[in-house]
Amino acid sequence: MPYLETSSEWYEQSSLLLKARPTTTHITSKYTVLKPNARKIKKHQKYLEKRAARPADPSRPASDAPAADSALEPKATFVLKTYDPASGTCLQYQTTKAAEVGRLIGSLGRLGRHQAALPETMEDLSAPTDGAGISTPKVEEDVKMGGVPVEPKAGAGGKKKKKGKK
């Protein structure tokens, strides 16, 4: 079960596996939040005490040290696994980046289209471009009723309407 290096590599390999075996392939996701254990907390506190007791070295440039609470914060991991029991293939990808988690979950929907035997779509589904598939009736262009034709006024010349506060 090797871990793939990048999310795009995992996506490409998983899509190939799903195209080859759409009925037997499974995609699982696991999100875990690990809090630091007591041993790590003690070790980090000892490190901070030693660092505070040690005099500052003037020859070293002052750099921003990592935050003191970084070791005490819980660490979250997101693991995606694509598994095909028929061939024994298992593809895994693990990340700790919060921004990447949302993008990966969004890509799961596109991967699921292969399993559902739906066609691939590359365009954005939220905004249809040509109006195909929309069942709203076409509105005919302005129908002129019989009567007196309205003449355009010639003296208005380019002034915009002012919107008043109500």
pTM of the model: 0.52
Give the pLDDT of residue 142.
57
Amino acid at 106: G
What residues contact 60, with CB distance under 8 A and at least 6 apart?
none
Residue 95 and residue 102 in contact, taking contact as beta carbons nearer than 8 Å:
no
- Per residue in 21-76, pLDDT (tens digit) is 888 988 999 999 888 788 888 888 888 888 888 876 666 655 555 555 565 677 88
CA–CA gap between residue 123 and residue 127 (Å, rounded): 9
Amino acid at 17: L
- Per residue in 73-128, pLDDT (tens digit) is 778 899 999 999 999 999 999 998 888 888 888 888 888 776 777 777 665 555 55
Residue 14 scores a pLDDT above 80: yes
Residue with tokens 């596109």: 110
Residue with tokens 């208005």: 156
Q: Domain spanning 1-31+73-119 has what CATH number?
A: 3.30.720.10
The domain segmentation of the chain, as residue ranges, is 1-31+73-119
CA–CA gap between residue 57 and residue 69 (Å, rounded): 23
What residues contact 50, with CB distance under 8 A and at least 6 apart?
none
Give the pLDDT of residue 141.
58
Percentage of the chain modeled with pLDDT above 90: 11
Q: What is the four-CA torsion angle of 85, 90, 95, 99, rounded to 10 degrees?
A: -60
What residues contact 121, with CB distance under 8 A and at least 6 apart?
113
Residue 72 and residue 38 in contact, taking contact as beta carbons nearer than 8 Å:
no
The full length of the chain comes to: 166
